[in-house]
Structures are given as structure tokens and as C-alpha cells.
Structure 1
Amino acid sequence: MTITMTTTCTWAPVCPLDRLEPERGVAALVDGVQVALFRTADGLYAIDNLDPVAGAYVLSRGIVGSRGGVPTVASPLHKQVYDLRTGACLDLPGVAVPRHDVRCRDGLVEVRLRREG
């Protein structure tokens, strides 16, 4: 049996909300982790910036869109599409990118890392 524990950190301020362009991504360093932040019409999303297929830190530069009403980002390298809500790859079963909690409080975007351990 495998037990996975999730450790959550405190909320880290990243940037003012108005610095995030709608339907675009931006990279941020949060507690030593490269995070890709996205602001869409549906809300804010945060996932690791590391593309699990290509092994490069590029997801923040991906193409933001949707598939069947699901907010997504397509990797700029090999075009795999990831669900921004869950981090699951919609093209390759079993592949996923870690997602993180994100919120806007008093006009400031904050991220709380979710770490598997």
C-alpha cells in the first residue's frame, strides 16, 4: 500500500491581479518552485511551470484555451493540453502537472503550494 501525504504551505503573495493579463500565463517563483499562473474568464489557476513531457519550464508560455468547457493550457513544445483545474493531461492518460491553490485577496494574487511527499 502506498500512502501519499500532501503538505500545504502558507499563502505567498505573488503580484497584483492587474499585472496578470487575461487568457495569458506568467511564471513566478514561489518558495523555490516555478509556478505558472493563469487568469482566465473563469478565474485564477496555478500549476507547476515544468512540462512533464518535455522536461522544460515552459507551461506559463502555453496557449490558454478550453476543451469542452474545461479551462486548459497547451504546452508550447509538444502541444499536450492540461486541465488548469486539476493538472491532468487531456491527451496522455496518467500524465499530470501538479496544481496549486491560488486566490486574490485585496487585489493581490497569492499562491499556496501543494507538495506531494
Structure 2
Amino acid sequence: MSRVEAKVQQGQGWQSLCSRQDLVANSGVVAWVDGIQVALFYLPGEPGDKQLYAVDNRDPKSGANVIGRGIVGSLSGNLVIAAPLYKQHFRLDDGTCLEYPEQSLRTWPVRLHGETVEIAMG
């Protein structure tokens, strides 16, 4: 269990971020949350409850806030986002970089609650 998940379970709670209408299917949008740019990816065709992902918008290699403009895809069975500048691939579920393990994106729990997108910032 990650630290953020533990805080949510201990009552830290979820906060409203935007509505489902603000999301773009199979693409990213960026939201400003507690002073951090968070890239949201909505993948309505994915099975189960993993249709929504929240990752840091800041590319660790370039330092630019561009991850939300990346291309969503699948590599070796992993849902990934390809960073726009250097094309490294980050797993959407945990932020791990496939090419450079020392790089990673911060991730947050995110969910749809009815028509509202909620995020747990820890």
C-alpha cells in the first residue's frame, strides 16, 4: 500500500477536481491541485475501474510541464504515456519509466464519483 492510499484509508478523504465532461477520452488534461500540475488520463475503453489515472505533469528528464500532452499507448502489456520531448514511456498505474528506472512520475489515487472526478492528495 502506498503512502497516499494509506492516508485515504485513514480518512484524509477525496477532493473534487473537475467533472467527467472536462476530461478528453484517450488523452490527457492538466489540472492545478494544491500547487501541483496533475495530468489526468481518461481511458473509457479499459476494463474494470482503471479508466482514470493521475500523474505528475512535470517530465523528470526535461523539467518541462508536458506529460499531459503525451501519447497514451501500451508497451509490453503496460498502459503508458510517452513523454512528448524525449519519448520515454511512463507506466500510468505507478509512474515507473520503462527506459530509465531512475526516473518516475508521482501518481495519485483518482476516481469518478458519479460525474465528478475526485483525487486524493497526500
Instruction: Identify the TM-score tier after normalising by the shorter chain.
Output: 0.7 to 0.9
Residue 63 of structure 1 is matched in structure 2 by 71
1:92 to 2:100 alignment: yes
Query: Of residues 57, 78, 84 in structure 1, which corresponds to 2:86?
Result: 78
Q: State the distance in 1 between where 2:13 and 2:56 align.
A: 17
Residue 20 of structure 1 is matched in structure 2 by 23
Aligned length: 110
* Unpaired runs of at least 5, structure 2: none
1:11 to 2:14 alignment: yes
Q: Deviations over 1:38-92 (max 9, x none)?
A: 0112210000101011101110001111112211100111101000001000111
Q: Deviations over 1:82-109 (max 9, x none)?
A: 0000100011122111100100002101
SS in 2 for 1:21: coil
Greater helix fraction, Structure 1 or Structure 2: 2
Residue 56 of structure 2 is matched in structure 1 by 48
Return the offset for 1:17: 1.1
1:38 to 2:41 alignment: yes
Q: State the distance in 2 between where 1:56 and 1:100 align.
A: 19
Return the offset for 1:16: 1.1
**Amino acid across the alignment from 2:38:** V
Q: Deviations over 1:9-47 (max 9, x none)?
A: 542212111321111000001111110000112210000
How many percent of aligned residue pairs carry the same amino acid? 41
